[in-house]
Amino acid sequence: MKYKDIKENAEVLELITKGDENLGVLGFTDHSVAHASLVAERASQILEALGHKKKQIEMAKVAAFMHDIGNAINRSRHAEYGALLANEILKNYDIDLKERLTIVSAIAHHDESTGGATDVISAALIIADKTDVRRNRVRQKPKANFDVHDRVNYAVTKTTLEIDNEKKQITLNLEIDEKICTMYEYFDIFLGRMMMCRKASELLGVSFRLMVNGNKAL
């Protein structure tokens, strides 16, 4: 089984689309195929830069692309619902049982309210997911209707993720327009996610840094 198979799976795509539609109505930021694809590519970049095996990279991409399919059922416990859905879908492919369960476990552990990194696959998924902070994740709506999550994402004018294997360091660089969102608001929303990234990075044998407007914030 390859990442390409999952990315073209009609059921997976429909689950992502339905989940994103649900979250749009509930007022959440973008969780579409664009988000799933970005997280998959970022998880791949992390493991590749740190010298992990091709099979692990492929597994991380599969887990990352499928990580939010549980939103089609409910936002609450979406990680666990997504894991159960993914397990049934992956049974249709020629995949080793241990690899399937590793992917399923990574999906189940990606949410900060109930999970945490347990292996390199889940660690890469968590970092890739939680560092997807960008202006175009905010849905089209009048700015007067922005909630704090909208403002925090809209305030981010530039995002880059650097993986330095020599320094054993992953750095999230953000440029934030503080006229749109205060630093207090940013950390109120994202501190838990950034701490989750720190723990995931430690499991990968590297440190995690957050740089905001050129200054170290974490």
Closest of 188, 195, 190 to residue 174, by C-alpha: 190
- 202's enclosing H/E stretch is helix 183-203
Count of domains for the chain: 1
Q: What is the pLDDT along the chain (218 residues), one digit of tens a residue?
A: 899 999 999 999 999 999 999 999 999 999 999 999 999 999 999 999 999 999 999 999 999 999 999 999 999 999 999 999 999 999 999 999 999 999 999 999 999 999 999 999 999 999 999 999 999 999 988 888 888 889 999 999 999 999 999 999 999 999 999 999 888 888 888 899 999 999 999 999 999 999 999 999 88
3-state secondary structure of 159: strand
pLDDT of residue 14: 98
DSSP state of 52: -
3-state secondary structure of 209: strand
pLDDT of residue 198: 97
pLDDT of residue 50: 98
Tokens of residue 111, six digits: 């949410």
pLDDT of residue 143: 83
pLDDT of residue 153: 92
pLDDT of residue 166: 95
pLDDT of residue 145: 84
Strand partners, 212: 174, 215
pLDDT of residue 184: 86
For the entire predicted model, the pTM comes to 0.95
Q: In one letter, which amino acid is 48?
A: E
| Domain extent at residue 186 | 3-216
pLDDT of residue 88: 98
Strands (DSSP E) contained in 52-93 are none
Q: Kindly report the CATH number assigned to the domain that includes residue 153.
A: 1.10.3210
